[in-house]
Amino acid sequence: QVQLVESGGGLVKPGGSLRLSCAASGFTFSDYYMSWIRQAPGKGLEWVSYISSSGSTIYYADSVKGRFTISRDNAKNSLYLQMNSLRAEDTAVYYCARMRGIAAASNWFDPWGQGTLVTVSS
Amino acid sequence: SSELTQDPAVSVALGQTVRITCQGDSLRSYYASWYQQKPGQAPVLVIYGKNNRPSGIPDRFSGSSSGNTASLTITGAQAEDEADYYCNSRDSSGNPSFGGGTKLTVL
């Protein structure tokens, strides 16, 4: 079945770095756009970044632009998020999700991984 | 703040119909998608496109849109529908954006 599994979360000090990974299975990973979405504790969902199927098109939310880098390795069916200069406000559960409809009059995310918690604290 | 506005909380009696709304200018041009999130779990897509349900989503869930407002309707709400619901569309830059979420309570 279609599955996404995130890893790499943990506790990091402000200003530090962390790299998240998302392993995909059950579908042809290289055919799909992928995205990272986060959720701060007790808060709503916030889109972070997405990357096209080939990796040639990338967008970021203003809140992470210049600090986070999304990438993918289609040979390894994996999505990544390199997070640098981390701040307390980056504390959240980070989900990877398959993204569809971006070129149409809609976009949707399905499925989502189980999420990985990133805590930025001294 | 989000460019998509949702009521923070809505309640419905068991078996009755409830409509959860999402307002935003982008909804005049783009369809919304809707997600259900239960405590401690990842969000699950329930509606996408004009009014499409992924496999496994009960047909009591439906979507509609008019002007700058998208709606998720649950016809005959069940206890297991109690959850947070989020809409998703685009922001003014054309990037994905989520509403603030609606907490649905089934009485």
Q: What is the pLDDT of residues A72-96, one digit of tens each?
A: 999 999 999 999 999 999 999 999 9
Given a cut of 80, whether residue B90 has pLDDT beyond it is yes
- pLDDT, tens digit, 9 for 90 and up, residues B42-55: 999 999 999 999 99
Query: What phi-psi label fits residue A9: left (phi over 0), alpha (psi between -120 and 50 degrees) or beta?
Result: beta
Q: Tell if the CB–CB gap between A115 and B42 is shorter than 8 Å.
A: yes
- Chain segment A50-79, per-residue pLDDT in tens: 999 999 999 999 999 999 999 999 999 999
B 11-70 residues with CB < 8 A to A: 29-33, 35, 42-45, 48-49, 54
Chain segment A5-25, per-residue pLDDT in tens: 999 999 999 999 999 999 999
Burial class of residue A68 in the structure, from the number of CB atoms within 10 Å of its CB (0-12 exposed, 13-18 middle, 19+ buried): buried
Q: Determine, for residues B33 and A105 on separate chains, whether the beta-carbon distance falls below 8 Å.
A: no
pLDDT band for position B1 (50/70/90)?
Answer: low
Among B95, B102, B103, pick the best mutation site for testing chain A contact (most A Cβ within 10 A).
B95
Residue A29 has pLDDT above 60, yes or no: yes
pLDDT bin (cut points 50, 70, 90) of residue B12 is very high
pLDDT 10s digits, B53-78: 999 999 999 999 999 999 999 999 99
* Opening angle at CA A105, ends A99 and A107, nearest 5: 20
Mean pLDDT value across residues B21-33: 95
Average pLDDT, chain A: 97
**Residue A103: which pLDDT band, with cuts at 50, 70 and 90?**
confident
**Segment A39-47 mean pLDDT:** 97
**H helix intervals, A68-107:** none
Phi/psi-derived region of residue B20, left when phi > 0, alpha when psi is between -120 and 50, beta in every other case: beta
Q: Average pLDDT, stretch A27-32?
A: 97
CB A73 within 8 A of CB A21: no
Residue of B nearest to A109 (CA): B45
